[in-house]
A = this chain, B = another copy of it.
Amino acid sequence: MFDYLRDPQEIYAKSFATIEAEADLARFSDDQRPVAIRIIHACGMVEIADQIAFGGDVIANATDALRNRKPILCDAEMVRHGIISRLLPAENPVLCTLNDGDTHGLARQMGTTRSAAAVEAWADHIEGAIIAIGNAPTALFHLLDAIHHGRMAKPAAIIGMPVGFVGARESKDALIEYAGDVPFITLRGRFGGSAVTAATVNALARLAR
């Protein structure tokens, strides 16, 4: 009834050819380029290329961390479930502490969101880890504050792509300005989300293999 492309390999090839033809990728280095392409692929928007920001030697740092079996810490279950386990080079643990038993009470006690409170439970895993924040601006703010004040160790890389109308843009601007020597990947502006965040992790995992 419908005439459409059904072969997975052809679909991927045509998708990436369209991105190469339409997106402005000139400013990306050779190692950043495949990550940028996967971000664009995940959201179907070539214009998002202009919003992608890489900080520090993030590709090398993140791929080393993945090879060294460092965990991936996610702010949301959707991010966790978007990460493709079989791509990970060392069966890396993928953790989301949002629904841990005490985040609700802790959030109330701290006067913040459950997403921000859930970051506290990252303390034991964060050194050299990959951070994947694809939902909550408050999680990213809380993390930056904890690292800046030395309350938490430094991760290998922060993928910070929260989405929304309150704090998303501001938390990503804060990441760019205050990450210090922690490498990062982000998307400027309101857009972000679990799909682009998971796609970034998956792209890094492919590079790490």
Interface, chain A (partner B; CB < 8 A): 1-2, 4-8, 11, 14-15, 18-19, 41-45, 77-78, 80-82, 111-114, 116, 137-138, 141, 144-145, 148-149, 163-168, 170-171, 174, 178, 189-195, 198
Contacts and interface: CB of A to CB of B under 8 A. Distances in A.
A113 B78 contact: no
A138 B18 contact: no
Contacts of A14: 165-166
Number of identical protomers: 2
Contacts of A174: 2
11 contacts: A2-B145, A5-B138, A6-B112, A8-B113, A14-B166, A41-B164, A42-B163, A42-B193, A43-B191, A44-B165, A80-B81
A44 to B, nearest CB: 4
A11 B195 contact: no
A116 B8 CA distance: 11
Contacts of A18: 165-166
A165 B8 contact: no
Contact of A6 (B113, B178, B195): B113
Contacts of A7: 111
Nearest to A116: B6
A31 to B, nearest CB: 23
B167 A41 contact: no
B6 A193 contact: no
B141 A4 contact: yes
Given A14-B166, A165-B41, A166-B11, A4 B137 contact: yes
